[in-house]
Amino acid sequence: MSNSAERFIGRMFHNLKSDGCNTKKLDKYFGWKDTERNIRKISLTRDTDYKRCLHLTIKSKHRDYDVLETYLDRLPRDMNNIIYSYLFTVRELKYIINIPINYPFDEPKWVLKKYSENGQSKPYYEPDPNALYCGQDHSPSMHIDREILLYCSLISWFNQE
């Protein structure tokens, strides 16, 4: 592995941390706030063996139903509250982001590791993070944290309110 690429990625993580970013809580760094209907988590970690490999996890716990829509007549309020607490859809995306030796001049390659809904693996087709840029539109000024922000903003189920 190129020492310059490894140093660059090390500096990138150092700069994120010096900006007050906890890479295991990127959702807070980007300003996404949890609501009663949607709890979001984004974490980015470096692979311990392969330094140019990053692991990205994007998770959303979204309540699709309103409490008034799911309220069952003739059941005590406590039982209705328990039922309501289980009416979440949990979606999780896991990517491996391979950073090229010439990064930031070459764009990273994202590999889908897993997509699941409520613990069940499902196929996932879009949006494709490798299609964020068309042709020569990739810019060296667009660092990985901004690419992750751009990608997460394109995911419809992640941005539901």
Task: Report in angstroms the alpha-carbon separations of 19 from 5, 29, 30, 46, 143.
Answer: 21, 9, 12, 18, 14
* Mean pLDDT of all residues belonging to the chain: 83
More confident residue, 65 or 48: 48
Q: Are 115 and 121 in contact (CB under 8 A)?
A: yes
Helix (H, G, I), strand (E, B) or coil at 117: strand
- pLDDT of residue 108 exceeding 50, the answer is yes
What six digits make up the tokens of 83? 């039922």
Question: Quick one: average pLDDT of 132-160?
Answer: 80
User: Which domains are present in the chain?
Assistant: 3-154 (3.10.110)
Question: Quick one: average pLDDT of 73-87?
Answer: 77
Q: Which helix (H) or strand (E) holds 6?
A: helix 3-18
2: confidence class by pLDDT, cuts 50, 70, 90: low
pLDDT of residue 67: 60
What six digits make up the tokens of 118? 């409520």
Q: Which helix (H) or strand (E) holds 55?
A: strand 53-63
Angle at 155 between CA 151 and CA 158, to 5 degrees: 115
- pLDDT of residue 139 exceeding 90, the answer is no
Question: Quick one: average pLDDT of 98-113?
Answer: 87
pLDDT of residue 1: 45
More confident residue, 1 or 50: 50
- pLDDT of residue 132 exceeding 80, the answer is no
Q: Which helix (H) or strand (E) holds 100?
A: none
